């Protein structure tokens, strides 16, 4: 499954608005190449989106090749609608492919996830299922939960939910490793100069 994220990262509200522009531009470009982009998850804000997770179809070399042209930083040029008179007009958004090592996915077994069927809701018109094929999935050990309604069958929604949970667990693991590295680095550079446990004299 080809997944791609558009993110404003830590950028201001203008970058969140730029995410919308990038999504629209990518969808228009994708249609011209016979590629379909569906929003799987979104982190909405008052300005637009902090991040979007998209699924590409069909899977294959053509979609991968098309996506390569969008990966990296995308510059959006517009005057800020939130801060009139603001000099800055260049806003940057990140586009990155979400790749999950097979070992990460295999580590998340279906038995560790509680699935519950639910009715799809929200925008989408004919693309939103009207049956109870949407899935609410909870990873029991971590409490991570996702709701997936983009697929047309419950089985496909379960498969995607498992992938999304595995991605979130991988992100948490990376954050934890990053914190451990920072703590080790701080420890490396810090020395307590009072109350020594030993005194060595020459």
Residue 22 clears pLDDT 90, i.e. is over it: yes
**CB neighbourhood size of 109 (10 A):** 9
**CATH fold of the domain at 2-99:** Alpha-Beta Plaits (3.30.70)
- The domains of the chain are located at 2-99, 104-182
Residue 126 clears pLDDT 60, i.e. is over it: no
Q: Please state, rounded to an integer, the average pLDDT across all residues of the chain.
A: 84
* pLDDT above 90 coverage of the chain, percent: 39
The whole-angstrom separation of Cα 202 and Cα 198 is: 13
Between 25 and 57, name the one with better pLDDT: 25
Between 99 and 162, name the one with better pLDDT: 162
The whole-angstrom separation of Cα 11 and Cα 22 is: 15
Residue 31 clears pLDDT 60, i.e. is over it: yes
Longest Cα–Cα distance of the chain, Å, equals 83
* CATH architecture group of domain 104-182: 2-Layer Sandwich (3.30)
* pLDDT above 70 coverage of the chain, percent: 83
> What pLDDT digit, counting tens, does each position of 82-116 carry?
999 999 999 999 999 987 666 666 667 767 888 88
Residue 51 clears pLDDT 70, i.e. is over it: yes
DSSP string, 92-127: EEEEEE----HHHHHHS-GGGEEEEEE---SS-GGG
Model pTM above 0.75: no
- Calculate the CA 161 to chain-centre distance: 13
């Amino acid at each position: 499954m080809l997944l791609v994220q558009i993110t404003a990262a830590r950028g201001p509200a203008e970058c969140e608005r730029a995410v919308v522009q990038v999504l629209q531009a990518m969808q228009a470009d994708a249609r011209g190449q016979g590629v379909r982009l569906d929003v799987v998850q979104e982190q909405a804000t008052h300005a637009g989106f902090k991040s979007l997770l998209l699924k590409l179809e069909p899977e294959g070399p053509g979609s991968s090749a098309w996506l390569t042209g969008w990966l990296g930083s995308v510059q959006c040029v517009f005057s800020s609608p939130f801060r009139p008179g603001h000099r800055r007009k260049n806003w940057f958004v990140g586009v990155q492919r979400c790749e999950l090592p097979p070992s990460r996915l295999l580590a998340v077994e279906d038995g560790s996830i509680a699935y519950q069927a639910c009715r799809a809701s929200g925008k989408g018109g004919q693309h939103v299922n009207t049956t109870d094929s949407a899935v609410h999935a909870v990873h029991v050990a971590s409490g991570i939960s996702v709701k997936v309604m983009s697929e047309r069958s419950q089985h496909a929604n379960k498969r995607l939910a498992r992938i999304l949970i595995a991605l979130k667990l991988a992100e948490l693991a990376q954050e934890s490793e990053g914190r451990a590295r920072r703590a080790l680095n701080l420890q490396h550079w810090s020395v307590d100069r009072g109350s020594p446990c030993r005194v060595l004299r020459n």
